[in-house]
């Protein structure tokens, strides 16, 4: 089966299905037939017969589609970053959430919001940047704390991640309580729920995540070579230090942009690369792009669950990913111990 | 030509290589011998550009090794490390393919001609048969041959081997050294490579090397024909063991053996 099915085609197909489901399902369900009619009518500049008032059209183009696009970008970015962090730390349990990067990004974003950055396009773009600096600081602290000699063992990586993560989350909470803003909205965001609707957040994260993704695609082969250690990588033609910084920058930028607009969403970066690795192996040239597709699919589907499980109330999607991801993480931990990863 | 001129190098404050000079020419297998801690591995690391030099210069085809970037260096010099702690998740072929890294595009994709080069190197090292098996299922000898194949697909004129035989059974030691010897003296029309192999076993050096360099306390004490260097009177004092040169009366083959008194 592994050879018959092109992994990219298969994952793209899954993504397509996830995209359609994500658009269809919600507080007002859009039937598949109507969905296609509304979309094709919009291309023709007319209104579909099944949508005389334009209600579906409005829901679709100003709510569902932008939300779907945001979830797609965020899921792709988080899973791709997770794969890259795993390659970089040579540790299959690294994940933007577990190693504290997401919380660091969260702190950065909260700090930016709490000093009332102007709510303009520039302001929107600045929040991911603030999140980026928070995330970079978190990565730096975690990798310094977790380093034992030249390696970063799983236990110390996760412990350092927990410490940094708790600290950042506590600080974020403090800032939020202190600010006069809408506490519930802030809480939803911190738990991993998008708090802004429409196309503005999509356009704000798009450049960061796209740049991050292109760089992550380029470091696939270098990450493969670096699994053999820095010396061999250098002898095989890899500028190790530069690749390391580039990878950290790209993965962190992507994570930060995702967190800034979709909140702190955990475990997508862990679960997706892991499942893909089990099926198609650990070649980062394949694993990273497949993680983009798989992460987007998983988050779109989880988002459907999050929006329908307590409907009409929407649950932050981060709660669902953590509910599913935490047991998965435990299973991995037990499995990896029996395989002597650490 | 690879030319090492009066280099001094080491780690932090400790000087490991103290004024080493050595030339490597295509068509020659040079064996690097010397007791543990003499600096054999350090010399190989230095030649591959991993160590900053306190003094001296290493030139590859007229260019300073340190003036080349990693990619350019990897197209000139390939290193075969000891097969230890290889990452388990790679198949044999994937390991060999990594040797093409200096020639790949930004996505790291292999072309048909890359695949052909990989096939050739795997055929040459008898590794094709376990091409799709995972590295951690392979024996030490098989892993070592993979690393040799990985260095071959780098298609470099210079090849450095760091004690490639040290964890191998006797028959694999011999066959690996035969392969390495053939790289310096190809019979199939390939261009001859310059090979430097750090070896532990003096008899392998005696048997396969064109020249032997004896490294002691970070200095090349003597470099020359195997018969000139591998003399009991020179080596006994260096290895601190009385040695004797034995000759097989039937075919004239010689071997160095320690004289052990019970």
How do beta strands B194-198 and B28-33 pair?
Answer: parallel
**A184 pLDDT higher than 70:** no
Mutation site, B79, B80, B98, interface A, largest A CB count within 10 A? B98
Q: A23 vs B89, which has greater pLDDT?
A: A23
* Structural domains of chain B, with CATH: 1-76+156-233 (3.40.50.300), 88-153 (no CATH)
- Which of A47-56, A88-97, B80-89 is predicted least confidently? A47-56
Nearest to B18, CA basis, from B175, B216, B227? B216
| Coil vs helix vs strand at B224 | strand
What's the CA gap between A179 and A189, in Å, rounded? 15
In this complex, the residue of B77, B81, B90 whose CB is nearest that of residue A232 is B81
Candidate from B74, B104, B106 with C-beta closest to A235: B74
What SS3 class is residue B28? strand
Residue A124 has pLDDT above 70, yes or no: no
Asked if residue A150 has a cis previous peptide bond (ω within 30° of 0), the answer is no
Query: A235 and B79 in contact by Cβ < 8 A?
Result: yes
Contact A220 B108 (CB under 8 A): yes
Higher pLDDT, A314 or A223: A223
Helix (H, G, I), strand (E, B) or coil at A263: coil
Q: Give dist(CA A169, CA A189) in Å, integer.
A: 12
Least confident of A107-111, A176-180, A317-321, B124-128: A176-180
Q: How confident is the model at residue A118 (pLDDT cuts 50, 70, 90)?
A: low
Structure-block tokens of residue A263: 């909140």
A8-45 tens-digit pLDDT: 999 999 999 999 999 988 777 888 888 888 888 888 77
pLDDT at B87: 87
Mean pLDDT lowest among A258-267, A270-279, B66-75 = A258-267
Distance to chain B for A238, nearest Cα, Å: 6
Instruction: Tell me, yes or no, if B108 comes closer than 8 A to chain A by beta carbon.
Output: yes
Q: Which of A218, A228, A236 lies nearest to residue B87, judging by beta carbons? A: A228
| A4: helix, strand or coil | coil
Chain B residue whose CA is closest to A282: B89
Q: Given pLDDT bands bounded at 50, 70 and 90, which one contains residue A175?
A: confident
Q: Does B144 touch chain A (CB under 8 A)?
A: no
The dihedrals phi and psi of A27, each to the nearest 5 degrees, come to -55, -35
Sort out which chain A residues have CB atoms less than 8 A from B108's CB and list them.
218, 220-222, 224, 285
Q: Which residue of A has its CA nearest to B99?
A: A236
| Helix A65-88, helix A7-24: angle, nearest 10 | 140
* Mode of pairing for the β-strands spanning B2-11 and B53-60: antiparallel
The whole-chain average pLDDT of chain A stands at 84
Q: Which domain holds residue A192?
A: 71-338
Query: A147-151, A281-285, B145-149: which has the highest mean pLDDT?
Result: B145-149
Q: What is the pLDDT of residue A9?
A: 93
Is A45 a domain residue? no
**Please, how many CA atoms are within 13 Å of residue A328, restricted to the half-sphere of its CB?**
19
Q: How many alpha carbons fall within 13 Å on the CB side of residue B255?
A: 7
Residue A57 lies in a domain: no
Residue A108 within any structural domain of the chain: yes
If you average pLDDT over residues B10-29, what whole number do you get? 92
How many of the other CB atoms lie within 10 Å of CB of A197? 13
Is the pLDDT assigned to residue B28 strictly greater than 70?
yes
Would you say A223 and A286 are in contact if contact means Cβ atoms under 8 Å apart?
no
* B93 interface with A at CB cutoff 8 Å: no
> What percent of chain A clears pLDDT 90, i.e. is strictly above it?
34
CATH number (domain holding residue A245): 1.10.3470.10
Establish if A130 belongs to a structural domain: yes
Mean pLDDT of the region A143-159: 77
A88 min Cα distance to partner chain B (Å): 13
Nearest Cβ partner for B70 among A90, A237, A281: A237
Q: Is residue B42 very low, low, confident or very high in pLDDT (cuts 50, 70, 90)? A: very high
Mean pLDDT of B179-205: 91
Q: Give the bridge partners for B33, in sequence order.
A: B214
Please give the pLDDT value at position A296. 97
Nearest one of A144, A133, A136 to A96, comparing CA atoms: A136
pLDDT at A305: 92
d(CA A163, CA A108): 17
Residue A154 has pLDDT above 80, yes or no: no
Is the per-residue pLDDT at A342 higher than 50? no
Q: Give A-chain residues touching B74 at CB under 8 angstroms.
A: 235-237
| Confidence check: pLDDT of A339 > 70 | no
Q: Is the dihedral of CA A281, A285, A286, A292 positive or negative?
A: positive
Question: Which pLDDT value is given to residue A1?
Answer: 41
Considering just the CA atoms, what is the radius of gyration of chain B in Å?
19
Chain A residues near residue B102 by CB distance under 8 angstroms: 236-237
Shortest CA gap A135–chain B (Å): 26
Which residues of A193-265 form beta strands (DSSP E)? Answer: none
Q: How far is A49 from chain B (nearest CA, A)?
A: 47
Residue A121 has pLDDT above 70, yes or no: no
Q: What distance lies between CA B33 and its chain's CA centroid?
A: 11
A66 in any annotated domain = no
Instruction: Please answer whether residues A266 and A325 qualify as being in contact, where contact means their C-beta atoms are separated by less than 8 angstroms.
Output: yes
Q: How far is A72 from chain B (nearest CA, A)?
A: 23
Helix (H) or strand (E) holding B125: none
Contact list, B75 vs chain A (CB under 8 Å): 237
Q: Is the pLDDT of residue A333 over 90?
A: no
- pLDDT tier at A5, thresholds 50, 70, 90: low
Contact B107 A232 (CB under 8 A): no
Residue B139: pLDDT over 70: yes
Give A122's pLDDT tier (boundaries 50, 70, 90).
Answer: low
Instruction: Output phi, psi for B74, to 5 deg.
Output: -70, -15
B193 backbone dihedrals φ, ψ, rounded to 5°:
-100, 165
How confident is the prediction for chain B on average, in pLDDT?
91
Distances (CA, A) of A185 to A110, A114, A188, A195: 12, 13, 5, 6
Task: Flag whether A99 is in a domain.
Answer: yes
Q: Is the pLDDT of residue A341 over 70?
A: no
In a domain, A13, yes or no: no
Highest mean pLDDT out of B93-97, B104-108, B234-238: B93-97
A50 Cβ contact list (under 8 Å, min separation 6)? A33, A34, A37, A38, A56
pLDDT of residue A151: 66
* A225/B101 Cβ within 8 A: yes
**Distance of alpha carbon B52 from alpha carbon B241, whole angstroms:** 35
Backbone phi, psi, residue A225, to 5°: -65, -35
From chain B, the residues in CB contact with A3 under 8 A are none
Give the integer Cα–Cα distance in Å for A229 and A238. 11
Distance from the first to the final alpha carbon of chain B: 48
> Which of A40-54, A74-88, B31-45 shows the lowest per-residue confidence on average (mean pLDDT)?
A40-54
User: Per-residue confidence at B257, pLDDT binned at 50, 70, 90?
Assistant: confident
- Give the pairing type, strands B53-60 and B77-80: unpaired
**Does the pLDDT of residue B17 top 60, yes or no?**
yes
- How many structural domains is chain A composed of? 1
Separation in Å, CA of B246 to nearest CA in chain A: 39
Within a domain: A95:
yes
Quick one: what percent of chain B has pLDDT higher than 90?
65
Q: Kindly indicate the confidence band of residue A182, based on its pLDDT and cuts at 50, 70 and 90.
A: low
């Amino acid at each position: 089966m592994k050879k018959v099915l092109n992994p990219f085609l298969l994952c793209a197909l899954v993504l397509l299905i996830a995209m359609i489901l994500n658009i269809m399902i919600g507080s007002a369900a859009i039937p598949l037939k109507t969905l296609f009619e509304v979309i094709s009518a919009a291309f023709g500049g007319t209104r579909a017969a099944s949508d005389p008032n334009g209600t579906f059209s409005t829901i679709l183009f100003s709510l569902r589609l932008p939300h779907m696009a945001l979830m797609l970008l965020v899921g792709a970015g988080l899973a791709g970053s997770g794969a890259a962090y795993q390659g970089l730390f040579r540790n299959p349990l690294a994940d933007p959430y577990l190693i504290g990067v997401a919380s660091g990004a969260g702190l950065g974003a909260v700090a930016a919001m709490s000093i009332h950055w102007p709510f303009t396009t520039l302001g929107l773009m600045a929040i991911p940047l603030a999140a980026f600096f928070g995330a970079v600081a978190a990565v730096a602290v975690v990798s310094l704390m977790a380093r034992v000699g030249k390696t970063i063992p799983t236990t110390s990586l996760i412990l350092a991640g927990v410490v940094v993560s708790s600290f950042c989350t506590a600080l974020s909470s403090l800032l939020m309580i202190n600010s006069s803003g809408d506490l519930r909205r802030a809480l939803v965001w911190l738990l991993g729920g998008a708090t802004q609707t429409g196309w503005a957040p999509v356009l704000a994260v798009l450049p960061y995540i796209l740049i991050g993704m292109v760089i992550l695609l380029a470091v696939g082969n270098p990450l493969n070579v670096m699994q053999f250690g820095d010396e061999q990588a250098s002898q095989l033609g890899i500028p190790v230090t530069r690749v390391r910084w580039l990878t950290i920058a790209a993965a962190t930028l992507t994570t930060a942009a995702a967190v800034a607009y979709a909140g702190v969403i955990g475990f997508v970066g862990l679960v997706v690369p892991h499942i893909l690795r089990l099926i198609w192996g650990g070649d980062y040239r394949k694993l990273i792009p497949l993680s983009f597709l798989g992460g987007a699919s998983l988050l779109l589907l989880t988002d459907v669950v999050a929006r329908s499980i307590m409907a009409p109330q929407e649950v932050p999607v981060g709660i669902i990913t953590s509910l599913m991801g935490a047991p998965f993480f435990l299973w991995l931990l037990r499995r990896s111990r029996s395989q002597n990863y650490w | 030509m690879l030319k090492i001129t009066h280099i001094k190098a080491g780690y932090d404050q400790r000087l490991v290589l103290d004024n080493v000079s050595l030339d490597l020419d295509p068509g020659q297998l040079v064996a690097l011998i010397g007791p543990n801690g003499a600096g054999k591995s350090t010399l190989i690391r230095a030649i591959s550009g991993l160590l900053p030099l306190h003094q001296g210069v290493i030139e590859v085809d007229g260019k300073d090794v340190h003036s080349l970037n990693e990619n350019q260096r990897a197209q000139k010099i390939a290193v075969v490390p000891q097969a230890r702690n290889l990452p388990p998740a790679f198949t044999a072929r994937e390991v060999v393919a990594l040797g093409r890294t200096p020639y790949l595009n930004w996505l790291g994709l292999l072309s048909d001609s890359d695949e052909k080069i990989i096939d050739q190197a795997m055929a040459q090292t008898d590794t094709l048969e376990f091409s799709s098996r995972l590295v951690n299922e392979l024996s030490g000898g098989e892993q070592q041959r993979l690393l040799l194949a990985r260095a071959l697909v780098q298609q470099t004129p210079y090849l450095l081997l760091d004690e490639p035989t040290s964890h191998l059974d006797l028959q694999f030691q011999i066959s690996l050294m035969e392969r390495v010897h053939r790289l310096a003296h190809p019979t199939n029309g390939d261009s001859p490579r310059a090979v430097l192999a750090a070896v532990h076993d003096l008899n392998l050096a005696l048997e396969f090397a064109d020249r032997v360099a004896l490294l002691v306390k970070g200095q090349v004490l003597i470099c020359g024909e195997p018969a000139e260097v591998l003399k009991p009177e020179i080596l006994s004092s260096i290895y601190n063991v009385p040695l004797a040169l034995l000759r097989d009366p039937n075919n004239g083959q010689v071997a160095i053996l320690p004289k052990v008194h019970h």
